[in-house]
Amino acid sequence: MDLKAPRGTRDVLPEETARRQALERAFADVCDRYGYGEIRVPTFEHTELFVRGVGDASDIVRKEMYTFEDKGGRSLTLRPEGTAGVARAFIEQGMASRPAPVKLWYNMNMFRYEKMQKGRYREFWQFGCEVFGSEAPEADAEVIGLLDSYFLELGLSRIRLELNSIGCPRCREAFRQALKDYYKPHFASLCSDCQVRYELNPLRLLDCKEDHCHQLAEEAPVQLDFLCPACLEHFDKVKGYLDKLGVAYTINPRLVRGLDYYTRTVFEFVSPHVGTQGSICGGGRYDGLIAELGGDDMPAVGFAMGVERLLIELEAQGIPAGQLKEPDLYIASFPSTAADALALAQQLIREGFAVETDIMGRSIRAQMKAADRRGARFILVLGDRELAEAKGRLRRLSDGSESEVPLTAVSSRLKQEGEVLDHE
């Protein structure tokens, strides 16, 4: 029996969880302030949802889905991304009848059958936002601005924002044709995937990572040259708002996204630190998705950010983010006082302090070491005499200073000390 975790999955140990929690809290907080509410949708959906939603020409649907049949013979798929499920919920829960815009965020794990690389896993997490009900470029600017605020709060810099517009279905038709004309003489030299893309969705040709196809894409026509007046105006406004918000961007006319549902604005935050493709976060407008899934016409814009890649970026930029909580107090005890130490620790924990005590039956010396290793701020040795006199000595580990304190006043003393410390 193979007792290793499945390929492409990772165990997250407490040190990393602490860092993730810090990121999660900060993300939840920034979404909260921008007026977004959290949504959680099922881990698996009917396969059809992703085929229709993400698009059958996308890499995700063609190669990366974890699809299985359940015992009732239904074809189900572990979610490879968040937008399709959120859009399904939006329709099913009648959220179109809520006052617009409906602003949602999520933090969910995703599953894709991919080749393992740095920053590329088979189970990974995404933070995302989706705004439903606004066609206006202000909405595009707001979600990008939210991301910019988040990065700023995390202390991240130098993450490049690439921006493009891939137009609406109307202006895309002319572009599609131009692409096909361009690729036609090269058809035989395309990789087998691209030969399929040529028929199914020529736009995808621009996204191929094979060397030869990639080179061809460099010379291909760009959608920006084919935008209709309305899409051009929309794009100009998005750029103008970003300028106003002080968000720097680079126009990348070759940027297309890996999912088929995008329209108009597409964007990506990229960094050289996070693996071959360098994408930390991708997003854009998807005005056609809700209708595609059977809802009424509903414009929408959103993004998804890879949490593991965010962690890699933070580390590459040398930003320490979140640590395991250090105890406010370590209570050392003897066999005769162990029960009282446990009880005192529990009482203080219930009052809101982080307190640890020995649960190993160790010697006092070993307990002192443990307190030090855990980075406790104070230590209290609870012996028979301390119990009898109902008072002990609170020692501050940073400078070794001690003060006597009645056992009933440990909590208020810790609180005072905490306030002094916060002040320093």
Regarding 235 and contact with ligand ATP (CB under 6 A), the answer is no
Least CB distance from residue 82 to ligand ATP, whole Å?
9
Residue 256 contacts residue 167 (beta carbons within 8 Å): no
Q: Answer yes or no: are the C-beta atoms of 47 and 76 closer than 8 Å.
A: yes
C-beta of 263 vs 279, nearer to ligand ATP: 279
**Using the rule CB under 6 A, is 197 a contact of ligand ATP?**
no
Exposed, middle or buried: residue 210 (CB in 10 Å: 0-12, 13-18, 19+)? middle
The correct pick among 308, 313, 340, 356 for binding ligand ATP (CB under 6 A) is 308
Specify whether the CB–CB gap between 172 and 266 falls below 8 A: no
Measure the N-to-C terminal CA separation of the chain; round to a whole number of Å: 55
Parallel/antiparallel/unpaired status of strands 263-270 and 160-165: antiparallel
Of 116, 117, 55, 105, the C-alpha closest to 80 is 55
Residue 277 sits in the site that holds ligand ATP (CB under 6 A):
yes
> Would you call 225 exposed, middle or buried from its count of C-beta atoms within 10 A (0-12, 13-18, 19+)?
exposed
For the bound state, the minimum distance from the C-beta of residue 262 to ligand ATP, rounded and expressed in Å, comes to 10
Task: Scan residues 78-117 and list those touching ligand ATP (CB under 6 A).
Answer: 81, 112, 114
3-state secondary structure of 158: coil
Structure token pair of residue 412: 């208020």
**Least distance in angstroms from the C-beta of 157 to ligand ATP:** 18
Stretch that binds ligand ATP, among 15-23, 34-42, 274-282, 336-344 (CB under 6 A): 274-282
If binding is defined by CB under 6 A, does position 31 make contact with ligand ATP?
Answer: no
Strands (E), 84-194: 102-111, 123-132, 160-165
With both helix axes pointing from N to C terminus, report the angle between 47-54 and 83-92 in degrees, rounded to the nearest 10.
110
CA dist., res. 332 & res. 341, Å (int): 7
Site string for ligand ATP, 244-273 (x = CB under 6 A): --------------x---------------
Looking at the Cβ atoms of 164 and 333, the one nearer to ligand ATP is 164
* Bridge partner list, 45: 77
* Number of residues forming the site for ligand ATP (CB under 6 A): 19
Nearest approach, Cβ of 86 to ligand ATP (angstroms)? 14
Q: How far apart are CA 30 and CA 225, in angstroms?
A: 36
Tell me, residue by residue from 279 to 298, as one string, x for binding to ligand ATP by CB under 6 A and - for no binding.
Answer: xxxx----------------
- Name the minimum Å distance from CB 211 to ligand ATP: 16
CB atoms within 10 A of CB 378: 25
Spell out, one character per residue from 39 to 78, where the chain touches ligand ATP: x when CB under 6 A holds, - when not: ----------------------------------------
**CA atoms in the 13 A half-sphere facing the CB of 248:** 7
Residue range at the interface with ligand ATP (CB under 6 A); choices 69-77, 90-98, 119-127, 240-248 = 119-127
Q: Which residue is nearest to ligand ATP (CB)?
A: 306
Smallest distance, Å, CB 110 to ligand ATP? Answer: 7
- Where in 185-262 does DSSP place strands (E)? 250-251
Cβ proximity to ligand ATP, 183 vs 269, nearer residue: 269
By CB under 6 A, tell whether 309 contacts ligand ATP: yes
In the complex, the smallest distance separating the C-beta of residue 279 from ligand ATP, rounded to whole angstroms, is 4
In the complex, the smallest distance separating the C-beta of residue 205 from ligand ATP, rounded to whole angstroms, is 15
Q: How far is the CB of 323 from ligand ATP (least distance, A)?
A: 24
Return the number of other C-beta atoms located less than 10 Å from residue 176's C-beta.
16
Q: How many residues does the chain have?
A: 424
Choose the stretch contacting ligand ATP; rule: CB under 6 A; options: 137-145, 247-255, 300-308, 409-417: 300-308
Q: Using CA atoms, how far apart are residues 159 and 60, in angstroms rounded to an integer?
A: 25
Nearer to ligand ATP, 20 or 120 (CB): 120
| Distance in angstroms (rounded) separating the CA atoms of residues 268 and 155 | 19
Question: What letter would DSSP give residue 369?
Answer: H
Interface mask toward ligand ATP for 330-369; x: CB under 6 A: ----------------------------------------
Contact positions toward ligand ATP, by CB under 6 A?
A: 81, 112, 114, 119-121, 124, 126, 258, 277, 279-282, 304-306, 308-309
